[in-house]
Amino acid sequence: MQDREEELFGFEERTGYIDPYQLISDQFVTDAQEYEDGNLSALEVALKMRKDYEKLEIQMNLRKTWFDENKEAIENESSKYPEGYKGYKVVLQTRTTLNFKNIDEWKVLENAKKDFEAKSKAALLMVQKGGLNVDADGAEIPLPEVSVSSFLKFDKAK
């Protein structure tokens, strides 16, 4: 574990360069404090953080691609270290995914589910407008459970 900590936190001492990830982390703390102190608006801090997030996301995707392209080589090498290497045990995992889209019966059931969901959504809208959740024959249409969440969406301004 100590090797891993030195690897993560000893970048500047080893290379003579400032660790870019530490800079981003420090800037995050500074910006959050500037907001708390009333020197920056929440929107300004959010946009600065969003730009950092976009850059970090690119880096994460590059690394994921590299891992995917080299997973067999990594696994072969890691198998030489059954107790782990520099604080990590690396094991190649597999996952089986089943796809039913080629089965006609599944397609019929999936379409029936979609039809039911559409009818239930329409009934919910009717109830929200003061109507009843019944079909043309007067049978009650079950309403879906409704949950609401919130998030910030960042779109580029035109």
Residues in the chain: 158
**pLDDT at residue 1 greater than cutoff 50:** no
Q: Give me the half-sphere count of Cα atoms (radius 13 Å) on the Cβ side of residue 46.
A: 8
**pLDDT at residue 54 greater than cutoff 70:** yes
pLDDT mean over 16-30: 85
**Helical ranges in the chain per DSSP H:** 2-9, 11-15, 20-36, 42-78, 104-128
**pLDDT at residue 7 greater than cutoff 90:** no
**Domain residue spans in the chain?**
2-70, 98-145
Q: pLDDT class for 107, splitting at 50, 70, 90? A: very high
Percent of residues, the chain, with pLDDT higher than 90: 78
| Structure confidence at residue 6 (pLDDT) | 57
**pLDDT at residue 18 greater than cutoff 80:** no
**pLDDT at residue 141 greater than cutoff 60:** yes
